[in-house]
Amino acid sequence: MMNKIGEINFKEIKRISPSQFYSMKNCAYKSLLAEAFDKKPLLPLSPNAYFGTVLHKMLELIVKGILKGEDDFNAEFDRQVKALEEDLKQKGFGFFVPLKVKLKNFGLKKIQLKKHLRSESEKTTSLGNIKFHSEKWFESQDKLICGKVDLVIENENEIEILDFKTGAIIQDCLDDEGEIYSDVKNEYKEQLKIYAQLYFENTSKFPTALSLVDLAKQKFPVEFSEQECKSLFDEAKSLLKATNDCIHTKLFSANPKQENCKYCLYRPACSFFHKELETDFSFNDVFGEVTNVKKFQNGNVSVFLQNGNKNLIIKNFSSEKFDKLGNHKNKQIRIYNVRKEATEFVYSAADTTIIYE
Ligand code: SF4
Protein backbone atom coordinates (compact mmCIF):
# COMPACT_ATOMS: atom_id res chain seq x y z
CA MET A 1 0.00 0.00 0.00
CA MET A 2 1.15 3.46 -0.81
CA ASN A 3 0.45 6.41 1.49
CA LYS A 4 -2.72 8.18 0.58
CA ILE A 5 -4.49 11.31 1.77
CA GLY A 6 -8.23 10.84 2.05
CA GLU A 7 -10.79 13.56 2.45
CA ILE A 8 -9.57 16.39 4.65
CA ASN A 9 -11.84 17.36 7.54
CA PHE A 10 -10.95 20.91 8.42
CA LYS A 11 -11.53 21.91 12.02
CA GLU A 12 -11.67 25.25 13.72
CA ILE A 13 -8.46 26.26 15.44
CA LYS A 14 -9.56 27.14 18.96
CA ARG A 15 -6.50 29.08 20.06
CA ILE A 16 -3.15 30.22 18.88
CA SER A 17 0.15 30.22 20.74
CA PRO A 18 2.78 32.93 20.27
CA SER A 19 5.08 30.35 18.68
CA GLN A 20 2.43 29.41 16.08
CA PHE A 21 1.70 32.99 15.08
CA TYR A 22 4.59 33.47 12.69
CA SER A 23 3.98 30.19 10.94
CA MET A 24 0.27 30.99 10.58
CA LYS A 25 1.14 34.40 9.21
CA ASN A 26 3.38 32.85 6.56
CA CYS A 27 0.87 30.21 5.51
CA ALA A 28 -2.41 29.91 7.37
CA TYR A 29 -3.34 26.87 5.30
CA LYS A 30 -0.52 24.96 6.98
CA SER A 31 -2.11 25.64 10.38
CA LEU A 32 -5.45 24.43 9.07
CA LEU A 33 -3.90 21.23 7.73
CA ALA A 34 -2.06 20.65 11.02
CA GLU A 35 -5.35 20.98 12.90
CA ALA A 36 -7.16 18.72 10.41
CA PHE A 37 -4.54 16.01 10.96
CA ASP A 38 -4.58 16.46 14.75
CA LYS A 39 -1.06 17.88 14.57
CA LYS A 40 0.27 14.50 13.42
CA PRO A 41 2.88 15.26 10.74
CA LEU A 42 2.54 13.53 7.37
CA LEU A 43 6.32 13.49 6.86
CA PRO A 44 9.14 12.70 9.28
CA LEU A 45 10.75 15.58 11.12
CA SER A 46 14.48 16.03 10.87
CA PRO A 47 16.45 14.21 13.60
CA ASN A 48 17.56 17.64 14.84
CA ALA A 49 13.96 18.63 15.43
CA TYR A 50 13.36 15.48 17.50
CA PHE A 51 16.56 16.08 19.45
CA GLY A 52 15.49 19.72 19.99
CA THR A 53 12.57 18.48 22.08
CA VAL A 54 15.01 16.66 24.39
CA LEU A 55 17.22 19.74 24.69
CA HIS A 56 14.24 21.90 25.54
CA LYS A 57 12.93 19.44 28.11
CA MET A 58 16.36 19.31 29.75
CA LEU A 59 16.50 23.11 29.88
CA GLU A 60 13.09 23.15 31.49
CA LEU A 61 14.24 20.72 34.20
CA ILE A 62 17.37 22.78 34.84
CA VAL A 63 15.45 26.05 35.06
CA LYS A 64 12.92 24.48 37.43
CA GLY A 65 15.82 23.43 39.64
CA ILE A 66 14.95 19.72 39.28
CA LEU A 67 18.36 18.97 37.79
CA LYS A 68 20.94 20.40 40.13
CA GLY A 69 24.23 18.62 39.64
CA GLU A 70 26.15 16.98 36.85
CA ASP A 71 25.19 13.45 37.93
CA ASP A 72 21.46 14.28 37.82
CA PHE A 73 22.01 15.91 34.47
CA ASN A 74 23.85 12.96 32.91
CA ALA A 75 21.34 10.40 34.14
CA GLU A 76 18.35 12.42 32.91
CA PHE A 77 19.97 13.22 29.57
CA ASP A 78 20.67 9.53 28.91
CA ARG A 79 17.12 8.65 29.94
CA GLN A 80 15.57 11.27 27.63
CA VAL A 81 17.75 10.28 24.67
CA LYS A 82 16.96 6.60 25.19
CA ALA A 83 13.22 7.30 25.35
CA LEU A 84 13.42 9.36 22.17
CA GLU A 85 15.36 6.63 20.38
CA GLU A 86 12.75 4.03 21.38
CA ASP A 87 10.00 6.33 20.12
CA LEU A 88 11.81 6.88 16.83
CA LYS A 89 12.22 3.13 16.34
CA GLN A 90 8.52 2.63 17.00
CA LYS A 91 7.62 5.29 14.45
CA GLY A 92 9.72 3.42 11.88
CA PHE A 93 12.56 5.98 11.99
CA GLY A 94 15.17 3.60 13.42
CA PHE A 95 17.61 4.98 10.84
CA PHE A 96 18.02 8.09 13.05
CA VAL A 97 19.37 5.87 15.86
CA PRO A 98 21.81 6.08 17.62
CA LEU A 99 21.37 9.86 17.76
CA LYS A 100 24.85 10.21 19.16
CA VAL A 101 26.27 8.97 15.86
CA LYS A 102 23.64 10.28 13.47
CA LEU A 103 23.53 13.87 14.72
CA LYS A 104 26.15 16.46 14.04
CA ASN A 105 27.04 18.41 17.20
CA PHE A 106 25.36 15.92 19.56
CA GLY A 107 28.30 16.11 22.00
CA LEU A 108 28.71 19.88 21.67
CA LYS A 109 25.02 20.48 22.38
CA LYS A 110 25.22 18.26 25.46
CA ILE A 111 28.19 20.26 26.76
CA GLN A 112 26.46 23.57 26.05
CA LEU A 113 23.32 22.37 27.78
CA LYS A 114 25.31 21.36 30.84
CA LYS A 115 26.56 24.93 31.18
CA HIS A 116 23.00 25.93 32.08
CA LEU A 117 23.27 24.09 35.39
CA ARG A 118 23.41 26.87 37.93
CA SER A 119 26.77 27.38 39.56
CA GLU A 120 26.94 27.74 43.34
CA SER A 121 27.41 31.53 43.06
CA GLU A 122 24.31 31.86 40.84
CA LYS A 123 22.28 29.85 43.33
CA THR A 124 23.26 32.28 46.09
CA THR A 125 22.15 35.33 44.07
CA SER A 126 18.78 33.76 43.51
CA LEU A 127 18.08 33.66 47.23
CA GLY A 128 17.24 37.40 47.45
CA ASN A 129 13.94 38.92 46.40
CA ILE A 130 14.17 37.47 42.92
CA LYS A 131 11.38 35.16 41.89
CA PHE A 132 11.81 32.64 39.11
CA HIS A 133 8.73 31.24 37.39
CA SER A 134 9.56 28.57 34.87
CA GLU A 135 7.24 27.09 32.26
CA LYS A 136 4.50 29.46 33.31
CA TRP A 137 1.21 29.09 31.46
CA PHE A 138 -0.65 32.24 30.38
CA GLU A 139 -3.85 32.68 28.42
CA SER A 140 -5.71 35.73 27.21
CA GLN A 141 -9.03 36.62 28.83
CA ASP A 142 -10.94 35.43 25.76
CA LYS A 143 -8.73 32.29 25.70
CA LEU A 144 -7.80 32.85 22.05
CA ILE A 145 -4.08 33.24 22.74
CA CYS A 146 -2.19 31.04 25.13
CA GLY A 147 1.27 29.70 25.74
CA LYS A 148 3.92 28.67 28.21
CA VAL A 149 6.68 31.15 28.96
CA ASP A 150 10.02 29.42 29.52
CA LEU A 151 11.08 31.70 32.36
CA VAL A 152 9.85 34.86 34.06
CA ILE A 153 12.20 36.59 36.45
CA GLU A 154 10.56 39.11 38.79
CA ASN A 155 12.75 41.34 40.89
CA GLU A 156 10.90 44.24 42.53
CA ASN A 157 10.20 46.59 39.59
CA GLU A 158 12.10 44.53 37.04
CA ILE A 159 10.29 41.81 35.13
CA GLU A 160 12.09 39.83 32.48
CA ILE A 161 10.58 37.26 30.13
CA LEU A 162 13.05 34.75 28.74
CA ASP A 163 12.61 32.24 25.98
CA PHE A 164 15.15 29.46 25.41
CA LYS A 165 16.06 28.41 21.90
CA THR A 166 18.06 25.32 21.04
CA GLY A 167 18.78 26.45 17.46
CA ALA A 168 20.14 29.64 15.93
CA ILE A 169 18.59 32.86 17.21
CA ILE A 170 20.33 35.21 14.82
CA GLN A 171 19.99 35.39 11.06
CA ASP A 172 21.62 37.43 8.32
CA CYS A 173 19.51 40.29 7.04
CA LEU A 174 19.98 42.93 4.33
CA ASP A 175 19.76 46.63 5.15
CA ASP A 176 18.43 49.33 2.78
CA GLU A 177 21.84 49.67 1.18
CA GLY A 178 22.09 45.94 0.55
CA GLU A 179 24.66 45.40 3.33
CA ILE A 180 24.42 42.20 5.36
CA TYR A 181 23.92 42.49 9.11
CA SER A 182 22.91 40.00 11.82
CA ASP A 183 19.73 40.32 13.79
CA VAL A 184 17.46 38.22 15.98
CA LYS A 185 14.97 36.27 13.86
CA ASN A 186 11.76 38.20 13.43
CA GLU A 187 9.62 35.24 14.42
CA TYR A 188 11.32 35.10 17.83
CA LYS A 189 10.93 38.83 18.37
CA GLU A 190 7.22 38.67 17.60
CA GLN A 191 6.78 35.60 19.78
CA LEU A 192 8.26 37.40 22.80
CA LYS A 193 6.20 40.52 22.21
CA ILE A 194 3.00 38.49 22.22
CA TYR A 195 4.14 36.84 25.47
CA ALA A 196 4.68 40.33 26.90
CA GLN A 197 1.09 41.29 26.13
CA LEU A 198 -0.14 37.95 27.53
CA TYR A 199 1.79 38.64 30.72
CA PHE A 200 0.23 42.10 30.89
CA GLU A 201 -3.31 40.74 30.44
CA ASN A 202 -2.74 38.35 33.31
CA THR A 203 -0.87 40.57 35.77
CA SER A 204 -1.68 44.16 34.72
CA LYS A 205 2.08 44.75 34.62
CA PHE A 206 4.28 45.02 31.56
CA PRO A 207 7.62 43.21 31.49
CA THR A 208 10.63 45.51 31.51
CA ALA A 209 12.83 43.20 29.44
CA LEU A 210 12.39 40.49 26.83
CA SER A 211 15.29 38.14 26.11
CA LEU A 212 16.20 35.07 24.13
CA VAL A 213 18.81 32.66 25.44
CA ASP A 214 20.60 30.11 23.28
CA LEU A 215 22.22 26.80 24.16
CA ALA A 216 25.59 28.48 24.60
CA LYS A 217 23.92 30.67 27.30
CA GLN A 218 24.20 33.79 25.17
CA LYS A 219 21.46 36.27 25.87
CA PHE A 220 19.86 38.39 23.13
CA PRO A 221 17.69 41.30 24.28
CA VAL A 222 14.60 42.15 22.22
CA GLU A 223 13.50 45.78 22.16
CA PHE A 224 9.79 46.45 22.30
CA SER A 225 7.11 49.01 22.94
CA GLU A 226 3.81 48.31 24.68
CA GLN A 227 1.96 49.52 21.59
CA GLU A 228 3.85 47.07 19.39
CA CYS A 229 3.01 44.14 21.69
CA LYS A 230 -0.66 45.09 21.72
CA SER A 231 -0.82 45.40 17.91
CA LEU A 232 0.78 41.98 17.42
CA PHE A 233 -1.60 40.49 19.94
CA ASP A 234 -4.59 41.92 18.05
CA GLU A 235 -3.08 40.84 14.74
CA ALA A 236 -2.78 37.26 16.03
CA LYS A 237 -6.46 37.23 17.01
CA SER A 238 -7.58 38.67 13.67
CA LEU A 239 -5.45 36.13 11.84
CA LEU A 240 -6.97 33.29 13.84
CA LYS A 241 -10.46 34.51 13.01
CA ALA A 242 -9.71 34.99 9.30
CA THR A 243 -8.12 31.52 9.14
CA ASN A 244 -11.14 29.88 10.74
CA ASP A 245 -13.50 31.82 8.47
CA CYS A 246 -11.97 30.03 5.47
CA ILE A 247 -13.39 26.75 6.74
CA HIS A 248 -16.92 28.09 6.41
CA THR A 249 -16.45 29.97 3.13
CA LYS A 250 -14.27 27.15 1.71
CA LEU A 251 -12.18 29.90 0.12
CA PHE A 252 -8.78 28.62 1.09
CA SER A 253 -5.56 30.26 0.12
CA ALA A 254 -1.96 29.31 0.76
CA ASN A 255 1.49 30.69 0.25
CA PRO A 256 3.52 28.01 -1.53
CA LYS A 257 7.11 29.12 -1.72
CA GLN A 258 10.43 27.54 -0.91
CA GLU A 259 10.92 29.04 2.57
CA ASN A 260 7.39 28.13 3.69
CA CYS A 261 7.00 24.72 2.14
CA LYS A 262 10.50 23.31 2.59
CA TYR A 263 9.89 22.41 6.23
CA CYS A 264 6.10 22.04 6.08
CA LEU A 265 5.20 18.55 7.24
CA TYR A 266 1.76 18.71 5.60
CA ARG A 267 2.99 18.99 2.00
CA PRO A 268 1.38 15.65 1.04
CA ALA A 269 -2.06 17.12 1.80
CA CYS A 270 -1.58 20.54 0.23
CA SER A 271 -3.16 20.98 -3.19
CA PHE A 272 -1.47 24.40 -3.56
CA PHE A 273 1.92 22.81 -3.10
CA HIS A 274 1.05 19.97 -5.49
CA LYS A 275 0.26 22.52 -8.20
CA GLU A 276 3.61 24.19 -7.52
CA LEU A 277 5.43 20.86 -7.85
CA GLU A 278 4.13 20.44 -11.38
CA THR A 279 6.33 23.29 -12.62
CA ASP A 280 8.87 24.04 -9.90
CA PHE A 281 11.81 21.66 -9.70
CA SER A 282 13.65 23.43 -6.91
CA PHE A 283 12.07 21.38 -4.11
CA ASN A 284 13.31 18.10 -2.67
CA ASP A 285 10.01 16.54 -3.66
CA VAL A 286 8.95 15.34 -7.09
CA PHE A 287 5.70 14.68 -8.87
CA GLY A 288 4.90 12.76 -12.03
CA GLU A 289 3.35 9.77 -13.74
CA VAL A 290 5.24 6.51 -13.33
CA THR A 291 6.51 5.49 -16.76
CA ASN A 292 8.91 2.74 -15.74
CA VAL A 293 10.41 0.95 -12.74
CA LYS A 294 13.76 -0.84 -13.02
CA LYS A 295 15.52 -3.20 -10.65
CA PHE A 296 19.31 -3.45 -10.96
CA GLN A 297 21.63 -6.37 -10.19
CA ASN A 298 22.57 -4.92 -6.81
CA GLY A 299 18.86 -4.89 -5.90
CA ASN A 300 18.48 -1.12 -6.14
CA VAL A 301 15.35 0.17 -7.78
CA SER A 302 14.89 3.29 -9.92
CA VAL A 303 11.59 4.86 -10.82
CA PHE A 304 11.04 6.98 -13.90
CA LEU A 305 8.48 9.76 -13.77
CA GLN A 306 7.06 11.98 -16.45
CA ASN A 307 6.11 15.48 -15.36
CA GLY A 308 4.92 17.50 -18.36
CA ASN A 309 7.76 17.30 -20.86
CA LYS A 310 10.34 16.48 -18.17
CA ASN A 311 11.57 12.98 -17.42
CA LEU A 312 12.69 12.46 -13.85
CA ILE A 313 14.70 9.57 -12.45
CA ILE A 314 14.66 8.70 -8.77
CA LYS A 315 17.33 6.13 -7.88
CA ASN A 316 18.30 4.04 -4.89
CA PHE A 317 14.99 2.66 -3.67
CA SER A 318 15.32 -0.65 -1.86
CA SER A 319 14.25 -3.80 -3.73
CA GLU A 320 11.01 -4.23 -1.74
CA LYS A 321 9.70 -1.02 -3.35
CA PHE A 322 9.86 -2.66 -6.80
CA ASP A 323 6.39 -4.23 -6.79
CA LYS A 324 4.78 -1.32 -5.01
CA LEU A 325 6.09 1.16 -7.56
CA GLY A 326 5.42 -1.22 -10.44
CA ASN A 327 1.75 -1.35 -9.44
CA HIS A 328 1.58 2.39 -9.95
CA LYS A 329 2.67 2.39 -13.57
CA ASN A 330 0.78 5.09 -15.54
CA LYS A 331 -0.43 6.59 -12.29
CA GLN A 332 0.62 9.85 -10.69
CA ILE A 333 2.65 9.79 -7.51
CA ARG A 334 4.53 12.29 -5.35
CA ILE A 335 7.81 11.43 -3.74
CA TYR A 336 8.89 13.54 -0.77
CA ASN A 337 12.35 14.10 0.71
CA VAL A 338 14.50 13.00 -2.21
CA ARG A 339 18.09 14.11 -2.73
CA LYS A 340 19.03 16.04 -5.84
CA GLU A 341 21.90 14.51 -7.78
CA ALA A 342 24.45 16.54 -9.74
CA THR A 343 22.63 15.79 -13.01
CA GLU A 344 19.47 17.79 -13.59
CA PHE A 345 16.20 15.88 -12.99
CA VAL A 346 18.02 12.97 -11.35
CA TYR A 347 17.34 12.31 -7.67
CA SER A 348 18.00 9.58 -5.15
CA ALA A 349 15.88 8.19 -2.35
CA ALA A 350 17.00 8.76 1.26
CA ASP A 351 15.98 7.16 4.58
CA THR A 352 13.26 9.75 5.05
CA THR A 353 11.84 9.48 1.52
CA ILE A 354 8.09 8.89 1.52
CA ILE A 355 5.80 8.17 -1.42
CA TYR A 356 2.18 9.32 -1.64
CA GLU A 357 -0.22 8.48 -4.42
S1 SF4 B 1 2.98 23.01 1.65
FE2 SF4 B 1 3.45 25.17 1.56
S3 SF4 B 1 1.60 26.12 0.78
FE4 SF4 B 1 1.05 24.11 1.48
S5 SF4 B 1 0.40 24.34 3.56
FE6 SF4 B 1 2.55 23.83 3.66
S7 SF4 B 1 3.57 25.82 3.70
FE8 SF4 B 1 1.49 26.19 3.00
- Summarised one tens digit per residue, pLDDT across range 282-322 is 999 999 999 999 999 998 999 999 999 999 999 999 998 89
Q: State if residue 59 touches ligand 1 by the CB under 6 angstroms criterion.
A: no
Nearest CA to ligand 1 atom 2: 261
The architecture of the domain spanning 129-245 is 3-Layer(aba) Sandwich (3.40)
Q: State if residue 272 touches ligand 1 by the CB under 6 angstroms criterion.
A: yes
Instruction: Point out the ligand 1 atom lying closest to the alpha carbon of residue 255.
Output: 3
Q: State if residue 29 touches ligand 1 by the CB under 6 angstroms criterion.
A: yes
178-222: per-residue pLDDT in tens? 888 888 999 999 999 999 999 999 999 999 999 999 998 899 999
Which contiguous run of DSSP H or E holds residue 347? strand 346-356
pTM given for the model = 0.89
Instruction: Point out the ligand 1 atom lying closest to the alpha carbon of residue 27.
Output: 8
| CATH number assigned to the domain with residue range 278-356, chosen from the 4 options 1.10.10.10, 2.40.50.140, 3.40.50.1110, 3.40.50.920 | 2.40.50.140
- pLDDT above 90 covers a percentage of the chain that reads 76
Ligand 1 midpoint to CA 246 (Å) = 15
pLDDT at site 173: 81
- Tell me where in the chain the CATH 3.40.1350 domain(s) lie: 129-245
Instruction: Point out the ligand 1 atom lying closest to the alpha carbon of residue 276.
Output: 3
- Pocket probe for ligand 1: among 26, 267, 271, 356, the residue whose CB has the most ligand atoms within 8 Å is 267
pLDDT at site 121: 46
Instruction: Point out the ligand 1 atom lying closest to the alpha carbon of residue 266.
Output: 6
Instruction: Point out the ligand 1 atom lying closest to the alpha carbon of residue 260.
Output: 7
108-152: per-residue pLDDT in tens? 999 999 988 876 445 544 556 788 888 899 999 999 999 999 999
273-282: per-residue pLDDT in tens? 999 999 999 9
pLDDT at site 122: 53
What is the residue-averaged pLDDT of the chain? 92
DSSP label at residue 95: G
Ligand 1 midpoint to CA 26 (Å) = 9
pLDDT at site 193: 98
pLDDT at site 47: 86
Ligand 1 midpoint to CA 256 (Å) = 5
Task: Answer with the residue of higher pLDDT: 256 or 49.
Answer: 256
- Tell me where in the chain the CATH 2.40.50.140 domain(s) lie: 278-356
The type of residue at 7 is E
Nearest CA to ligand 1 atom 7: 261
pLDDT at site 174: 78
332-340 and 346-356 beta bridge pairing: antiparallel
**63 Cβ contact partners less than 8 Å away, ≥ 6 residues apart:** 116, 132, 134, 135, 150, 151, 164
Checking 208-212 for CB contacts under 8 A at 24+ apart, the result is 208/157, 208/158, 208/159, 208/160, 209/158, 209/159, 209/160, 209/161, 210/160, 210/161, 211/160, 211/161, 211/162, 211/163, 212/162, 212/163, 212/164, 212/165, 212/169, 212/184, 212/188
